[in-house]
Structure 1
Amino acid sequence: MLRLIPFFTTESQLIAALKRGESRAHKVVYERFSGKMLTVCTRYCANRDDAEEVMLDGFMRLFDKIEQFREDGSFEGWIRRIMVTESLMFLRKNKQWRQEIPLEDAAVEPDYVWADTAINENDLLRLVNQLPDGYRTIFNLYAIEGYAHAEIATMLDISEGTSKSQLSRARAILQVSLKKMEQEPGRRDQTGNYEKTNRKTAN
């Protein structure tokens, strides 16, 4: 079943209109994807104003480079990659992604199964956004975007070892944060697990 898009019957028609430079197609794409793409940019640029600026730059690049999209993959995925690239360009320009902090407070062995169903998405995003820029960048690229360490190393002009160590440290910091959250009053239910709340559906 085809998903209807305002003014356009299919996504292919929308993309064709973009390639013709139709302003209504620009409007539809922005309205359809801006919410998701702002979330992507916010994962890299913790400051919302910076994230919005990066997102707008990303859409401008999208409209300028739309001829490069060959429709042999996900359109949303292609847009997402543009937004990630714009975010990394912003961080490099502002020399933010290399920032690190001492690890005295995060000296725990990373546990690669820490992110389970015991923590909801909003809490996880909040903890990730509190990471230093360098750690947050690599954690997002690896754990959320799915890039391999070799790809991350190329994207950030670092070694694979640096990518792996930054990810390990990011996870260690997140473990400490999770333990602190676990100790917060009202965070556990009677079984000793985190209370599971669905903030998305709360009005």
Structure 2
Amino acid sequence: MDKTADDRRMVTAALTGDRRAQEAFYRKFAPAALSVCRRYTQDRSEAMELLNIGMLKVFDKLDQFRWEGSLEGWIKRLVFNCTIDQFRGKRKRPTLEIALWDQPTAEKATQSLYAEDLKKMIDLLPETSKEVFWLFAVEGYNHAEIAQRLHFSEGNSRWHLNKARTLLKDKLASEPFQHNRYAG
């Protein structure tokens, strides 16, 4: 049976208040949405709290989904937006999670750089530049989406990204990062 047709039936039933359809919807899409939340916190209970807040927003806006793209992608985007809003409200910033943290990158300039150092450097960026860098480099947003999300121009988004890159590049070029501090 067609997956999209099944999703449409489930969404239609959920919108009419069918609790079974709402539960099925939650069970189907919560794991993908939880993976978004887990990128921002290692605490499982906090991730579940973020997931539930995000899924409430999804149910609240479910009637606005236009079936022009992936339903799962739309859900993940809403949960991401809610998660970022929660961190913004608490003045707690998401941290960068890097897989294989103990492996140096292949590029010459960052061979001795480890995830711990990168996280510290990103956290030192000015707030708006850090947020633009995060959205662009980690989350994959383009400048138009960032500008709309942060309520400023695309040129301003580009400027903040360039500023963040310049500051990070300068920091990488500084003496403490010229040698591998973990080498024996």
Q: Same fold (TM over 0.5)?
A: yes
Work out the CA distance in 2 between the residues paired with 1:137 and 1:165.
12
Aligned length: 156
Q: TM-score, normalised by structure 2?
A: 0.62
Match of 1:117 in 2: none
The unaligned stretches of length 5 or more in structure 2 are: 96-106
Instruction: Write the letter of the residue equivalent to 1:13.
Output: R
Work out whether residues 45 and 87 of structure 1, in 8 Å CA contact, stay in contact via their aligned partners in 2: no
Instruction: Write the letter of the residue equivalent to 2:146.
Output: I
Work out the CA distance in 2 between the residues paired with 1:128 and 1:23.
45
Q: What is the deviation of 1:3?
A: 3.9
Q: What is the deviation of 1:147?
A: 1.0
Match of 1:188 in 2: none
Instruction: Write the letter of the residue equivalent to 1:2.
Output: D
Work out the CA distance in 2 between the residues paired with 1:63 and 1:152.
24
User: What pairs up with 1:92-131 in 2 under 5 angstroms?
Assistant: 92-97=88-93
Work out the CA distance in 2 between the residues paired with 1:170 and 1:47.
28
Work out whether residues 44 and 137 of structure 1, in 8 Å CA contact, stay in contact via their aligned partners in 2: no
- Tell me how large the CA RMSD over aligned residues is: 4.2
Q: Deviations over 1:10-61 (max 9, x none)?
A: 1111111122121112211221122221111122345443322121011111
- Is 1:33 the counterpart of 2:38? The answer is no
Work out the CA distance in 1 between the residues paired with 2:28 and 2:73.
13
Instruction: For residue 39 of structure 2, give the secondary structure of its aligned residue in structure 1.
Output: helix
- Is 1:149 the counterpart of 2:149? The answer is no
Q: TM-score, normalised by structure 1?
A: 0.57
Structure 1 pair 98/14, CA: closer, same or farther in 2 (3 Å)? closer
Instruction: Write the letter of the residue equivalent to 2:88.
Output: R
The percent identity for this pair of structures is: 28
Work out the CA distance in 1 between the residues paired with 2:24 and 2:183.
43
Q: Which has the higher helix share?
A: 2
Structure 1 pair 169/44, CA: closer, same or farther in 2 (3 Å)? farther
Instruction: Write the letter of the residue equivalent to 2:140.
Output: G
Work out whether residues 38 and 47 of structure 2, in 8 Å CA contact, stay in contact via their aligned partners in 1: yes
